[in-house]
Amino acid sequence: MSCSATVTKMIVERIKYSDILKDYPNIDGIVPITHSTGCGMNTESEGMQIFQRTIDGFKNHPNFSHVFVIGLGCECAQVSLFDESLKKHNRIHFLTIQDEGGTKKIVEKVLSQIKNLLSEANNIQRTSQPVSHLTLALQCGGSDGYSGITANPALGVAADLLVKKGGSSILSETPEIYGAEHLLINRASSQETADKLIKRIEWWKHYTSINNSSMDNNPAPGNKKGGLITILEKSLGAVAKGGNSILQDVLHYAEPLKNKGFNFMDSPGYDPVSVTGQVASGANVICFTTGRGSCFGCKPVPSLKLSTNSAMFEKMSEDMDINCGTIAEGKEKVEEVGQKIFELVVKTASGNKSKSEINGYGDEEFNPWQVGVVM
């Protein structure tokens, strides 16, 4: 919760600076997942439901061995909201600063509990798993004029390859498919699935209108500098990330994935919020296309950066994982680069570190979607 963010960071810093993790080679690290919400909301509101789904998705994520959920004690998002987790999982621990008697006491208690769990966590080792267990988050940010002809369609090829092998992909960012939603509706698995997407578009039209905005607005300044003039251009490119697979389901933000294959999750276009929802829904690898450049990471899930053009790839080579600009240069075909992306996704899931992991990104990017009145 927001009021416990400082305590959470204190605990993580104590563990990191103690250097104790060096004795446990199978533990990649400890992550402080903090945020600025959890209070000031109606406990029955849509915003609270979104928040609860998001927290549930992260604390149940298989990339965590153990999770400590720390609150102040008087916030709207009470521990009682997560009673089901208390009953199901002994790897998830709930504490509040007020119940434990203040800052120093809770920090020392959690530190002691973590140290007692390190041997158990270290016993968890990588095992061979089928590719069908992968769920790929399809994401873009800092798009440019090349996005829709290089990186995005190449990522679509990779997503299709994963789906064909029994895996799943999640496209999101509802405002950034606006004007191109028919391309998804036309390949929905059923009328029910199509209606779900139409309903989310209608929700966004209402949501933006009551907030003195519009779905039909212009791209961001960086997009314009990259050559994108209208939202339609951006949307047509963004949809390409989903490949050509059948749309199996439309999820609410952070709703757990139910159907294997290609899915759409409702979310804002703001990258950290969108990715947070995708990870909460079950994504375990992120592919992030960018033309202007992005340094995004999201622990506990590796984030691969796909450059849309060679100039930016060379300029930000320490942050980019694959250059898709070779497609525009005629050096490679979309299908060839798509195959490379798919192979890198599998390699990354097998332990190869992405550039964002090497650079240490991911501690600060958790950002649940805040919807509704904050009182």
Assess whether pLDDT exceeds 80 at residue 4.
Answer: yes
**Average pLDDT of the chain?**
92
Cα distances (Å, whole numbers) of residue 264 to 60, 183, 198, 207? 21, 12, 12, 19
Instruction: Give the dihedral of Cα atoms 117, 123, 127, 132; nearest 10 deg.
Output: -10
pLDDT in tens, 287-300: 999 999 988 999 99
Is the separation of the CB atoms in 271 and 287 below 8 Å?
no
What pLDDT does residue 83 have? 63
pLDDT in tens, 225-249: 655 555 556 788 899 999 999 999 9
What pLDDT does residue 216 have? 74
Which H or E run includes 264? strand 261-265
Assess whether pLDDT exceeds 80 at residue 338.
Answer: yes
What pLDDT does residue 217 have? 64
pLDDT in tens, 124-177: 988 999 999 999 999 998 888 899 999 999 999 999 999 999 999 999 999 999
Q: Which residue has the higher pLDDT, 220 or 320?
A: 320
Q: Average pLDDT, stretch 200-204?
A: 96
Q: Of the candidates 290, 264, 287, 260, which has an alpha carbon nearest to the alpha carbon of residue 277?
A: 264
Assess whether pLDDT exceeds 70 at residue 30.
Answer: yes
Is pTM, for the whole model, over 0.85?
Answer: yes
Is the separation of the CB atoms in 103 and 94 below 8 Å?
no
Q: Where are the alpha helices (DSSP H) in 92-190?
A: 97-100, 103-122, 151-164, 182-185
- Of 36-40, 188-192, 230-234, give the lowest mean pLDDT range: 230-234
Q: What percent of the chain has pLDDT over 70?
A: 93
Is the separation of the CB atoms in 324 and 338 below 8 Å?
no
Query: Domain residues of the chain, as ranges?
Result: 2-122, 131-358
Q: Which residues contact 298 (CB under 8 A, 6 or more apart)?
A: 272, 275, 276, 279, 286, 361, 362, 365, 366
Cis amide prior to 300 (ω within 30 degrees): yes
What pLDDT does residue 199 have? 98
Assess whether pLDDT exceeds 90 at residue 346.
Answer: yes
Assess whether pLDDT exceeds 90 at residue 334.
Answer: yes
What pLDDT does residue 44 have? 84
Q: What percent of the chain has pLDDT over 90?
A: 77
Identify residue 197 by its one-letter amino acid code.
L
What pLDDT does residue 219 have? 55
What pLDDT does residue 45 have? 87
